Structures are given as structure tokens and as C-alpha cells.
Amino acid sequence: MALLEIRGLVKKFPQSDAEVLHGIDLNIEAGEFVVVIGPSGAGKTTLVRCINRLIDPTAGEIFFDGQFTLGLRGNRLRKLRAQMGMIFQDYNLIYRSNVMQNVLHGRLGQMPFYRSALGLYARDDLQQAYDLLTAVGLTDFMHVKAQTLSGGQMQRVGICRAMMQNPKLLLADEPISSLDPASAKVVLDQIKSLTAARGLTSIVNLHQVEFAKQYASRIVGLRRGQIVFDGTPDALTGDVTNYIYS
Amino acid sequence: MYDERFRIKFGLSVFAVAIVVVACFFYLRLDAIAIFTVAPAFLSFIATEFMPPALDNASAFLLPALFTVAFAVVSTLISAFFSFIFALMMTEAIMPYWTVRFSVRFVMTFVRNIPVVIWAVMMVLIFGVGSMVGLMALIMATTGFLSRSYAESINEIAVRKLEPMRASGVGKLAMIRHGLLPEFAPAWVNWTLFSFELNVRASAVLGLVGVGIGMGLTIQTRLTFRRFQDVATMVLILIIVVLATEFIANWMRNRFMNNVNAASSAAPPKNNVLRVVPLHALIKKWFAIVVIVSVFVLCIFYIDLDVARFVGRLNRAPDILRQLMRIDIGIITTGLRQFSISFAMGLVGLVLGGLLAFMLAFLAADNIAPFKPLAMAIKGFVSIVRAVPSLIFILMIVAAVGLGYTAGVVVLILSSMGYLTKAFVGTIEEQHRGIITAMRATGAGWWQIVLHGLLPAVLTGFFAWLAIRMETSVAESVTLGVVGAGGIGTLISRAERNRDFAALTTLILIIVICMAALEWGSNYLRRRVVARG
């Protein structure tokens, strides 16, 4: 059974008449590195956010790990979200907290109520956060306030925060859109190597086709809220790309 | 931005404002000349009666001054605490039930739009005089103001910054503690210090309206006995205290902001001990918390709240509250007319004060000031004017030239001028020096730089400040009425004296509704102006 099953997903925002997502069907198997491409406004962000329910879809079904996700509320919704790490375009770090704190925030959702409220992290958590920072080369910055980091460094902290959840699924929404090409490559390399080492399933939104072909094990092309391509990077020809972005 | 349509619109607006101000003059039967002749009369009165300040008594006045500051500390910190909780209840990301959000917002709008002096009048009526009553009045007004300011900042943070935590299943309390609190801290410090500065002035004033505490009381008694030289000493001390608190508040702001940058040098972890937060940062944080708490406790002991007396009177509160739960339909028209007088006074004060501020600001702003000593003199003068609460001003002016709308309008002009000059100077000084340098390089003179370089850049900011000040100016005008300057405030103090509860409730409701409308109008103007800029 697929790790993630999406059937007939529709999203309509109250402000506009048009459907942002127009009946999406998608199965994602454990261990895949799926890159979703498409022009801005194609519905990439909405799709990813429906998966962890930051956005509630209008119609359709989503099963994660065999569980129907759309009815979940309260604690059970939180438990679902704790199993999915997310990386954001604008990093969304807590600027006035240090790097270590920001990484550890990824663990808060899985701690008992009082421990999370007081910030009583376990020794092992600290060690894991440190190891993650080592992997992305930021140990020297562990006690530096996040606001003083560069964009690339911030996103690497964002990766660690998502990994800190020990998630079953990693969602990344335009993780490199705000970065220069050099930092973008570092960030994608690190996402790729950290997920590969853990056999972690990933869904990454990108709008750069070259990067998608380079990193993806499977590419999904989104155009006006519909999947118009689903296949290996090799199958993504110039014609298809042109159609997606037309 | 200087296209034809803008010019026409701008010209028409200025013309409309001028007409309205002239109409206000007729409405209030103001003597345009008197407004300007009051100043020399007032100054000569000050020079002959208030000078020299009775410095030999100064030590006797220091205790009330200390009391005033301690009072401001206690009221500000208590309000800051409650405001934070209310602000959370007004934020969508924290409080999912819109009914709760809406009710809290509604109550806070109500609370915010009653000026502190009116709160004091009401509290005195219900609970009698005493420090507890003064404290409650200050807390009410401050909480109304702070909860809104906090809520704006919190909302912004909650939308942008808490999403990762929501996306990873973090609970509300942990989200507030680890996400919201650190990001909100600078805004908290800023707003809280701002209200502390306001509260120092407000708590100095409360004694004037019968709360019976602090510097206001001392000034009041000395004025009654025409001991003007003592009053001069008190006012002098008050000015020093206000300027000192402003200085300290600014120092704390700067320190808090710079702290972040100073702590941010990259280094490998020491001694291979893993810590979430390094020890020195932890110590610093707890030290700051301990200092705040101990200052709070010290101040509470110092102001020696009359809790026992207050509690003893609680049993009469329900009875009076019941009497307050009535409305006097008959007074509505009079009330509205009197509010329109307060409004007209506030508007005249705003526009004329704004004009003065406009002229002074370009002479005083560091980056354009034509003559440095003059700039220093203006800045000093403005700080002093700003330091004296308008209620104290009006009592001094009344002592000099008698009561009436003129006295009220003069005070409102002065206080708007003080506030706006500082705001305008700030806006001008924020402008990039490049504009001025570039124009100077082309050989432009002072006038040309001001008119063609700076003015287009600062106009939007000026209008935003005017819109903000409009609310305060009218609120101040209502307040001045309580000591007899006319308008709805005077009606309120009369209703209080006659213990006419139904009239009091009705008048306060009129104030709340009109002020809320004004707040809405001011926000609307500000949004339009900013959107254009």
C-alpha cells in the first residue's frame, strides 16, 4: 500500500470562483523523492498544504499510512502532523531564538504537554539536534540567534527542524525560491542526502525544471490544478515542460 | 507624485480643512486673536507668579514624585500582564472561537475609548477616593490601549511565524512559549515602555481629578491656595521625572535591541557540553526577570495600596452599579452637542498644533536644520512642553487667564504641537541623507530642499501622524472638560457632583460610541494615506 494516497482532491478558495486544485489523484510510495513542478499559481503549495491539513480541501480523500486524514481534529490532527516534516520557502524560523532552539522546535509536537511547554528536551534530543547540525555544517552556529544567519543557513536550520521530527514524510514548499543558486544547490543536496540516508519519502515543490530533473526520482507536473505529467525525470521531455509552463 | 490630480485633490483637502477649522472657531465663539494673546499673558503670569520656584521645599515634593513613578510601574506591569492574555484571546491563530475573539475585542474597544480621567471619575464615584481606585483607573485605560497594540503585533507573528509549529503538531501552550514569546518580546518591550511613559504623566494627573494621590494632589492643593511658586517647583520636578523616564525607557529599548546582535558570534560549543541555551544567556534572562519582579514588588510596597479600604467599600459597589445601569434619554441631545464642542476643540488644537509642528519640525530635524542652536532650542522646548500633562497646563492657564474654550484650545494646541513636532522630526530624520546631499550638490538652497526634496517624501508620514493624533486630541479635549474647559467632560463632572448616575452612564456611552467612530475614521484615513504612499 502506498504511503500517501490522494483521490479526487479539489480545493476552492471562498474568495475566487476558480478551483485551485481540480481533481488530483496521486499515490506516493515509501522512499520516493517526488518533485512537483509547475508555474506559480498551478496549485503546488495548496497541494502540499492539503497533505498536512494546513489547508482543508473542498472535496476528495487523502490517506496517509492507511489513515483517512480529512476528518482528524485536535490531538489526532497534531499526531498526524507530527509525522510530516515541512520546509518552508521563507524558512519561518523564530528569529530571536538560537539555532539549537529552532532545530529542537521540530521535537515539540511529540513531547508530553508539560515537557513541551517548559522546553524540557531529552538528552538524546539535544544529541540528535547536534548531529543534524553537524550534517549541515552549522555546529559553530548552534548558539547564534537565527536572525543573523544568511538565507541559505536559515534554510539548512529549517531542514534540521523538519528532520528533528523523525518524520515519515517530508514536505518542502519551494525550499530554494528565496536563495541564490549556490545556496540552492547546497540546500537541495542536503535535503537529498539526509532523506536518502533515512529512506525518507519526500515531496518537494520546485519551479526550476533543471533542479527537478537532477534530484527527483519521480516528477509530477501540475498545470492549472491538474496533473499533466507523472513520471521519471527522463520521461520529462522539452515538449512536456513547455506544455506545463504554457 | 506631484501630478495634476494630486495637486487638485491636495489643494481641495487643505481648503476643506481650513473651512472646517474656521467653522469650529465660530461654533466655539473663539476669539482668534485671544488665542495668540493668551501666550504673552500666560508667560508674564508665569514670570511674575511662578518664578522663582520655591526650591527650599523641593525635598518635600520628591516623595510624591517617587510615588507617581512607582504608581506608573505597578499599573503598567499589571496592565501588560492582562493585556497579553487579552491579546492572545483576540488572535485567530491562538483562539479558534470567533465568539470569544469578538467579545474580547468589543470589550477592549469599549474600555480603550474611555479616557483615563473619566475612568477615574467613575471609579471614585463607585469606590470613593484612594490609591486602589487610581490604580484601577490606570489599569483599565492602559489595558485597553495595550491589548490592542499587542494584538496587532501578535497577529502578525502568528500568521507568519507559527506555521512551522502548527505544521509539526505543536500544542498551543508550547507554541506560545517557544514561538510567540521570543518573537513578540521586542514589540512587548516597545509598547510597554511607551505606555509606562504615558502612565507616568497620567498618574501625576490623577490627583487633580479627585483620586487623592501623588503629585496631582499636591499640585491641586497648592493651586487652590495660590502657592504658585510651590506649583512651579512641582512642575519642574515633574518635567525632570518625565524626561528621566523617557531617557531610561529609550536606554532600555536600545539595550534590548542591541543585545541580540551582541550575543551572536559563532563559536563551537564549549567543553563538549550540549546546551540548548548557553549558560551566560540563561543567567542574563533570569537576571532580567528577577529585576523586573523585584522592582514591581518594591513599587507595590512603596505605593502602599489601600486594599483594606477598597475591599471595605466593595459592598456598596453593586448598589451603585445598579444605579449606573440606567440611561437618561433626555440628556442625549445635550450630550451629543457637548461632544461636538469637545470634538471641535480637539480639531482646532490638532490643526493649529499641527501647523506649528510642521514649521518647527523642519527647523529642528538634524539632517536639515538651518541653524543648530535653534534646532537644539526647539527640541528642548518641545520636550518640556511634552513633559507637562495637559491637565496641569490647563490649571496653570486657567489660573492666569480664567476658564473657557480659549484656555482649552490653547492647551490642546500646545500638546498637539509637542506630540507632532517630535513625530514629524522623527519622520524627517528617517529620510535618507542622500536626498539632501544630492540636492545640495546641485546648489539648491534650504527652501528648495525642503519644498522639493523632503516634503514629497515626508507628507504621507505626516498625515499618518495627524490621523493618529486626531483621536488623542479629542480624547484630551474630553478630559480637559472634566476640570472645566467645557464640552462633554464638563457635563460628566457635573453629573458626578450631582450623583446623577443615569446621566453619567449616558454621557460615557456617548463618548465611547463617538470615540470608537473616531478611531475607525482615523484608521481609515491612515490606511488610505499609507496605501497612497
Least confident of B250-264, B276-290, B322-336: B250-264
Mean pLDDT for the stretch of residues B361-377: 88
Q: How many CB pairs under 8 A join A and B?
A: 124
Of A89, A84, A167, whose CA–CA distance to A132 is shortest?
A167
With an 8 Å Cβ cutoff, are B169 and A130 in contact?
A: no
Does position B420 have pLDDT exceeding 90, yes or no? yes
Which residue would you say has higher pLDDT here, B402 or B83? B83
Average pLDDT, chain B: 86
B166:A119 CB<8 A: no
**Which residues from chain A sit within 8 angstroms of residue B282, using beta carbons?**
none
Q: How far lies B131's CA from each of B67, B141, B511, in Å? A: 11, 16, 25
| For helices B501-532 and B317-324, angle between their N-to-C axes, nearest 10 degrees | 70
C-alpha cell at B199: 502612565
Report percent pLDDT > 90 for chain B: 33
Across the range A158-171, mean pLDDT stands at: 96
Instruction: Return the higher-pLDDT residue of B373 and B207.
Output: B373
Angle in degrees, 0-180, between the axes of helices B488-497 and B332-364, rounded to the nearest 10:
130
> To the nearest whole percent, how much of chain A has pLDDT over 90?
79
Eight-class DSSP state of B177: I
Q: Give the pLDDT of residue B312.
A: 83
**Looking at residue A98, what DSSP letter applies?**
B
Q: List the one residue out of A187, A205, A236 whose CA is nearest residue A38.
A: A205
What pLDDT does A211 receive?
92
Alpha-carbon distance A5 to nearest alpha carbon in chain B (angstroms): 19
Q: Is the pLDDT at A18 greater than 70, yes or no? A: yes
CB neighbours of residue A161 within 10 Å: 30
- The residues, ordered by sequence, that sit 6+ positions from B532 with a Cβ below 8 Å of its Cβ are B460
Contact B163 A143 (CB under 8 A): no
Instruction: For residues A231 and B115, give the distance between their C-alpha atoms in angstroms, rounded to a whole number.
Output: 67
The answer on pLDDT for A34 being more than 90 is yes
**pLDDT higher than threshold 90 for residue B176:** yes
The amino acid present at B200, given as its one-letter code, is V
Tell me if B350 sits within 8 A of B470, measured CB to CB: yes
Are B484 and B490 in contact by the 8 Å Cβ rule? The answer is: yes
Question: Cα(B160)–Cα(B339) distance, rounded to whole angstroms?
Answer: 41
Q: Is the pLDDT of residue B474 over 90?
A: yes
pLDDT at A17: 75
Q: Which amino acid is at A158?
A: G
Grid look-up 470613593 returns: B128
Instruction: Report pTM.
Output: 0.88
pLDDT, position B267: 65
Determine, for residues B182 and A117 on separate chains, whether the beta-carbon distance falls below 8 Å.
no
Q: Is A90 exposed, middle or buried (0-12, 13-18, 19+ CB in 10 A)?
A: middle
For residue B142, name the pLDDT band (cuts at 50, 70, 90).
very high
For B63-110, write each residue's pLDDT tens digit: 888 888 999 999 999 999 999 999 999 998 888 899 999 999 999 999
Indicate whether B344 pLDDT > 60. yes
Residue B481 CA to residue B522 CA, distance in Å, equals 22
Cis link prior to A167 (omega < 30° from 0)? no
Tell whether the torsion through CA atoms of A196, A197, A203 and A204 is positive or negative: negative
d(CA B263, CA B272): 20
Which of the pair, A24 or B131, is modelled with greater confidence?
A24
- Which of B:209-268 have CB within 8 Å of A? 260-261, 263-268
Inspect the interface and report whether the beta carbons of B267 and A140 lie closer than 8 Å.
Answer: yes
Q: Of B145-154, B337-346, B437-446, where does mean pLDDT reach its minimum?
A: B437-446
Whether B171 and A117 lie within 8 Å, measured CB to CB: yes
Can you list the positions of beta strands (E) in chain A?
4-12, 19-28, 33-37, 59-64, 67-68, 84-87, 169-173, 201-205, 218-223, 226-231
- The ipTM, to two decimals, is 0.91
Q: Which residues in chain B have their CB less than 8 angstroms from residue A106's CB? A: 168
Out of B183, B266, B278, closest to residue A95 by CB: B183
Q: Which residue has the higher pLDDT, B319 or B56?
A: B319
Find chain A residues with C-beta within 8 A of B173's C-beta.
113, 116-117
Residues 6+ positions from B79 with CB-CB distance below 8 Å: B138, B139, B142, B143, B146, B195
Higher local confidence (pLDDT), B487 or A216:
A216
Q: Residue A137: closest CA among chain B residues belongs to which residue?
A: B268
Question: Model confidence at B221, in pLDDT bands (50, 70, 90)?
Answer: confident
Task: Evaluate whether B184 touches B135 at the Cβ level (below 8 Å).
Answer: no
State how far Cα B299 lies from the chain centre. Answer: 22
Grouping H, G, I as helix, E, B as strand and the rest as coil, residue A145 is strand
